[in-house]
Amino acid sequence: MGDAAAIHAVHAAAFPSDAEARLVDALRDAGHAAVSLVALESKIVGHVLFSPTRSNQGRGVGLAPLAVLPQYQRQGAGYDYIVVLGEPAYYRRFGFRRALDFGEFAELG
């Protein structure tokens, strides 16, 4: 909870209004912050919140809001690649390719 003000500031700076910042505050205050992650660069520069959702498919979590301070946006993360474990057809639409296509990774599972 000690990071609440810095997290609020990141969301308020990243969006045209403070609506997302207030949403994060409200979800946290209501005990609905299932997972809250920050990005650090000597201070909090980014934040993502997962909060519980419910649908006719059952219980889940929603990934939103996600915010990065404007001066840190569009810089990448300083890594050459990201690996995700999941359904290739799903992740392909986000630009991911199968690790086996690069010949350096063994298939998992």
DSSP for 2-20, written as a single string: TTHHHHHHHHHHHSSSSHH
Q: Which are the contacts of 94, defined by CB distance < 8 A and separation ≥ 6?
A: none
Cis peptide before 65 (omega within 30 of 0): yes
Is 109 inside any structural domain?
A: no
Is 51 inside any structural domain?
A: yes
Is 86 inside any structural domain?
A: no
Residues of the chain with pLDDT under 50: 109
Range of the domain at 43: 4-78
Q: Domain tally for the chain? A: 1
Residue 64 φ then ψ, to 5°: 175, 150
Is 98 inside any structural domain?
A: no
Is 26 inside any structural domain?
A: yes
| Residue 101: per-residue pLDDT | 80
Is 43 inside any structural domain?
A: yes
CATH of the domain at 28: 3.40.630.30
